[in-house]
Chains A and B, each alone.
Chain A
Amino acid sequence: MSNSKILANGVDVYYGSKQALFGISMDIKEKEVTALIGPSGCGKSTFLRCINRMNDLIEICKVSGSIKVDNQEIISEKTDVVSLRSKIGMVFQKPNPFPKSIFDNVAYGPTIHGLVDSKNELEEIVHSSLKKAGLFDEVKDRLNEPGTSLSGGQQQRLCIARAIAVNPEIILMDEPCSALDPIATAIIEELIDELRLNYTIIIVTHSMQQAARVSQKTCFFHLGELIETGETNKIFTNPDNTKTQDYITGRFG
């Protein structure tokens, strides 16, 4: 049994006066893929964005409760958001490479964190990150071309490479395949399976098949509440809650 990496306890989120999450408590294990599923607007993405404090960007958003990453409380004024985010990478729904070269996209994180002292070192990090993201062979001859010139699937893998270049421990993925075709999706899913060996991954997805394929744990959200959480196998074959049952069999959502 691996250790608890993220421990959420009674997380409430409000957008203005509207409550979006109701007392979410969750235990996420190290080096596992946890899938968050549920119908649109159920709060999965909101919860995901609490973990690296991306919700700070939304002014009307208020988060309360407790989330501990490696036993460190992060829902607090004192949290150093910048170093938190260097520890927790994030991949967004729509690929968002910087309008810079492929190399610069990956090099940006290590550069701002001062992880490298020399150009060679930087090159090494960029190459190894691209390799880990399974993109290196496709782009090694054109690292100076803009990242935006790649295909959608490649852009998304570039974003994954960008996230892992700063050597995070956790990677958050917010519907990373929703803008991709089935082939690109399959490649990313394979990649997630490999990344699991080194990173703790939390993935929000609308595709039940995807959740079943890539995750070990699955959490089902509905209307801002965490209905059920458990081993993926169990959730998809024999859920405890009837709502979960209804959702995964396609009766609502």
Chain B
Amino acid sequence: MNNSVAKEKIVSLRKKRSLEDMRFKYYGFTAMCLSLAVLVFLLYTIFSKGYTAFQKTIVLLEVDYNQEVLKLTPDSSDEDMEKGKFFRVKKQAIENFFPDLSKSDIKLVKKLFSINVDKEIKDYFLENPEVINTKQQIWVTAHSDVDQLLKGNSRRDVPEDRRKLNDIQLSYVDQLVEENRVKQVFNNFFFTKADSRHPEIAGVAGSFMGSLFTLFTVFILSFPIAIGASVYLEEFAPKNRITELIEVNISNLAAVPSIVFGLLGLGVLLNVFGLPRSTPLVGGSVLALMTLPTIIIACRASLKAVPPSIKEGALAVGATKTQAVFHHVVPLALPGTLTGTIIGLAQALGETAPLIMIGMIAFIPNIPTGLTEPSAALPVQIYLWVESAERGFQEKSAAAIMIILIFLFMMNAIAVFLRNRFERKW
């Protein structure tokens, strides 16, 4: 081949090669745009469906704290006050909510209020005992049906029998709106209450705490075990058939479907060891087993990434193997290990199936305060709410998804922070 032919060939091929470059650049760009679009669409759907859950509807109610009705006197002790007949006060307040209500109308009006109103009337009184024998205008929580109507989530142009509120109730609501006796405020219940059958007073606090306790258990169990296992496998274990077998099986475990771990928890932790059902302790143990392989793999990868020259340097000045590993190799591998751990925890946070198996799907109306108390977890709560027929739970599930996403986002932020904080260059 003479020189000019070679040059020609190079030139003609060069065009093809640069075209290839361009093509792959655009493939990549398109793929990125597509994934971004999907992400934006997803976030938009969740946000547009869920943001209304952060507001609740409250109604102005005139309550007459009459001592006769309450069966209390101004001198009653605190204990007696607890036992006041607040349901009678509420009944009276509802009867007088609109002028001249018939008995059947009263029933309809009653359904505009949340079941929580009794408690709100009582709490207001207990906080301000001096209001006895006075009439008070207090804002109380509206029923979810009213809430959904005012938020525009349920339609009023469908036939009456397919609506939660009938025509009379609708006219009442309209009247309230006209008289400014109803408004929407920040929904503190969503952040302070646990699950409830009534959408207007259901919140994520219970499942959030449940998830927090579960993740705590996962971290406490899996982090030390994973570090120990990976340091041993990477630095101390003899390279033979048995360690090879263990290594292969760790990778295999990482791919085991999570529900299998749930079955293990059900069969072993609950039935054999008799640990309490539906608790973060059991849920966390099961999820810890699930995340262990992930953390071990990440930890070993970062141990491997530490240059061997560092360990050699330590050994050469007379460090023992343990000293060389724990003074030099492990600290350098820590950022990667922490990142892997947080990725594992994030995976555990979103896991639903194993929790269902060990009973964390139970309806728990209380906020858990410890590892051995029954509780829900965020993903299970979302699952429960999505399943619910009540319209009020739809926005709640979207809002709970937002909470879990924010939780994940914060965990990732911590991972990035830790990585930047501890990362050293060599």
Contacts and interface: CB of A to CB of B under 8 A. Distances in A.
A163 B424 contact: no
B317 A96 contact: no
A181 to B, nearest CB: 20
B332 interface: yes
Interface string B341-370: 000000000000000000000000000000
Interface string A76-114: 000000110110011010101111000000001100110
Interface string B221-242: 0000000000000000011000
Given A96-B310, A98-B310, A146 B424 contact: yes
Interface residues of A, number: 27
Interface in B296-340: 307-310, 312-320, 323, 327-328, 332
B319 A112 contact: yes
A112 B323 contact: yes
A59 B236 CA distance: 12
Nearest to A86: B318
B9 interface: no
B7 interface: no
A57 B315 contact: yes
A109 B310 CA distance: 14
Given A112-B323, A148-B425, A163 B316 contact: yes
A54 B310 contact: no
Contact of B309 (A96, A108, A165): A96
A98 B318 contact: no
B426 interface: yes
B243 to A, nearest CB: 12
B424 A99 contact: yes
A92 B178 CA distance: 85
A85 B313 contact: no
Contacts of A166: 317-318
Contacts of A222: none
A162 B315 contact: no
A90 B424 CA distance: 24
Residue among B238, B310, B312, B317 having the largest count of chain A Cβ atoms under 10 Å: B317
A56 B228 CA distance: 23
A113 to B, nearest CB: 6
A52 interface: yes
A108 B312 contact: no
Interface in A102-141: 108-109, 112-113
B425 A96 contact: no
Contacts, number: 66
Contacts of B308: 57
A159 interface: yes
Interface residues of B, number: 22
Nearest to B426: A99
Contacts of A52: 316
Given A96-B307, A99-B332, A112 B318 contact: yes
B239 to A, nearest CB: 6
A89 B316 CA distance: 6
A163 B317 contact: yes
Interface in A165-179: 165-166
Contacts of A82: 318-320
B313 A162 contact: yes
A54 B317 contact: no
B307 A109 contact: no
Nearest to A165: B317
B312 A54 contact: yes
Nearest to A163: B317
Residue among B308, B313, B314, B315 having the largest count of chain A Cβ atoms under 10 Å: B313
A92 B426 CA distance: 15
Contacts of A98: 310, 313-314, 328
A85 B310 contact: no
Contacts of A113: 318
A86 B318 CA distance: 5
Nearest to A84: B318
Contacts of A99: 310, 332, 424-426
A92 B239 CA distance: 26
A102 to B, nearest CB: 14
Nearest to A113: B318
Contacts of B424: 99, 146, 148
B317 A108 contact: yes
Given A85-B315, A90-B316, 20 more contacts: A52-B316, A57-B315, A85-B316, A85-B317, A86-B318, A94-B309, A96-B310, A96-B312, A97-B313, A98-B314, A108-B314, A109-B318, A112-B319, A112-B327, A146-B424, A148-B424, A148-B425, A159-B313, A163-B317, A166-B317
11 contacts: A54-B312, A57-B312, A59-B239, A85-B316, A92-B312, A96-B307, A108-B319, A112-B318, A163-B317, A165-B317, A166-B317
Interface of A: 52, 54, 57, 59, 82-83, 85-86, 89-90, 92, 94, 96-99, 108-109, 112-113, 146, 148, 159, 162-163, 165-166
For the complex of A and B, 6 pairs with smallest distance between CB atoms: A86-B318, A109-B317, A96-B309, A99-B424, A90-B316, A85-B318
